[in-house]
Amino acid sequence: MRARPGVLVSLLFALAPAPGGAQALQNATLRRAQQAYENLEYRQALSLGRSALRERLAGGERARAYELVGFSYAALDSILKSVDAFKQVVLIDPERQLDPNRVSPKAYSAFDVALRQVLLVRQLRIDSTGFVAGQGAVPIRFMVTQPARVVTRAIGQRNFLVDSSAWNGQVNLGWSPRLPNGDPVPAGTYTIVVEARLGQNTFSASQQIRVLHGTVDTLPHLTSLPGYQYLPETEIPPQTWRPLGLAFLYTGGAAIGTLGLESGSLGASSQRELAVAGAAALVTGLVMTLRKPAPRPAEGNILYNRLLTEQIARRNADIAKENVTRRQQVQLTVVPLKSGAPR
């Protein structure tokens, strides 16, 4: 069976978040109005909601009562009256939002029209941030619902003008917290006040922040450069067979001399001495060949190490100069506090 359009519309309004549903309502009339709305009895909900507004209500319940009236008027197709009711809601609670996925298109449209017909400063946000004084700014974000002259100030031990311009819609500003002489503002609590003015209508919102002072970290001195390292200043020469070759040369010469003199006047004892000398030369040559060569200076590495040392010294001199500047700087940390109430 196909559902009738009127039933579908009623179901859409029933799904809309009724004011006060998340918290218990103190006013009995307002509780009855909400119950009637939840039961799709929109005319009774409207009557009881208007009756509740004539009673003493706290700010939160008054906003809920107007919201309930706005939803009821929208359900009854009284869009202009719904807009008027939603105007009162946003004047009491400028941060109020409706979820377009949970409310009827009529109610959402009426709420949107109400926002654009009332001068408001909404969604004032200041995020936590940190920067070196003079090298950053405090981000300030807010929304203005109508074209208006907007003046933004930071009020603390002294008052600072952040911006004065005509704005509409989303606004993003930055406050550089510095004194006229360039020094950072004193540490302490400041209130960012955004005031919008359109003709005789004015509206302002505020957010408190705390400004903290800190020291800027200095740079450590370098003992090495990334990607570079000192090289050994001595090196072991490669193994050589030259001593053994010389020994063979000397031994061969001695042997030739011995053979040449066999018919001469040398006796057997002299020949033995020559043989011993040749054998000693061979042994000495072999020992010198197998012996590990002595280290020698590596001229190329010594020059490289000298250049690397000079480079590190120059970098450390630059770091020392920069640290002198860093010790004179101030690290600013900005922390938002509990939002101030709109005025």
- Per-residue pLDDT of 97-114, as tens digits, reads 998 888 889 999 999 999
Among 99-108, 251-260, 333-342, the range with the most confident prediction by mean pLDDT is 99-108
Q: What is the structure's pLDDT at 322?
A: 82
Could you tell me the pLDDT band of residue 168, with boundaries at 50, 70 and 90? very high
Q: What is the mean pLDDT of residues 4-20?
A: 44
pLDDT at 69 > cutoff 50: yes
- Over pLDDT 70: what percentage of the chain? 75
Q: Point out the least confidently predicted range of 8-12, 170-174, 221-225, 270-274.
A: 8-12
Paired with 191 in beta bridges are 155, 208
pLDDT at 321 > cutoff 90: no
Q: What is the structure's pLDDT at 77?
A: 92
Q: Point out the least confidently predicted range of 59-68, 73-82, 193-202, 240-249.
A: 240-249
Q: What is the structure's pLDDT at 181?
A: 86
Q: What is the mean pLDDT of residues 206-233?
A: 89
Q: What is the mean pLDDT of residues 180-196?
A: 92
pLDDT at 127 > cutoff 70: yes
Q: What is the structure's pLDDT at 50?
A: 93
User: pLDDT of 36-63, one tens digit each?
Assistant: 999 999 999 999 999 999 998 887 899 9
Q: What is the mean pLDDT of residues 140-164?
A: 94
**Amino acid found at 170:** Q
| Cβ neighbours of residue 86 closer than 8 Å, sequence gap 6 or more | 66, 67, 70, 110, 111, 113, 114, 115
Q: How many Å is the Cα radius of gyration of the chain? A: 46
pLDDT at 243 > cutoff 60: no
Q: What is the mean pLDDT of residues 167-174?
A: 94
pLDDT at 82 > cutoff 50: yes
Q: What is the structure's pLDDT at 329?
A: 81
Select the more confidently predicted residue: 283 or 151.
151
pTM for this prediction = 0.66
pLDDT at 273 > cutoff 80: no
Select the more confidently predicted residue: 284 or 156.
156
Q: What is the structure's pLDDT at 86?
A: 95
Average per-residue pLDDT for the chain: 81
For every residue of the chain, which 3-state class applies, written as one string?
CCCCHHHHHHHHHHHCCCCCCCCCCCCHHHHHHHHHHHCCCHHHHHHHHHHHHCCCCCHHHHHHHHHHHHHHHHHCCCHHHHHHHHHHHHHHCCCCCCCCCCCCHHHHHHHHHHHHHCCCEEEEECCCEEEECCCCCEEEEEEEEEEEEEEEEEECCCEEEEEEEEEEEEEEEEECCECCCCCECCCEEEEEEEEEEECCEEEEEEEEEEEEEEECCCCCCCCCCCCCCCCCCEECCCCCCHHHHHHHHHHHHHHHHHHHCCCCCCCHHHHHHHHHHHHHHHHHHHHHHHCCCCCEECHHHHHHHHHHHHHHHHHHHHHHHHHHHHHCCEEEEEEEEEECCCC
- Alpha carbon 203 to chain centroid, angstroms: 32
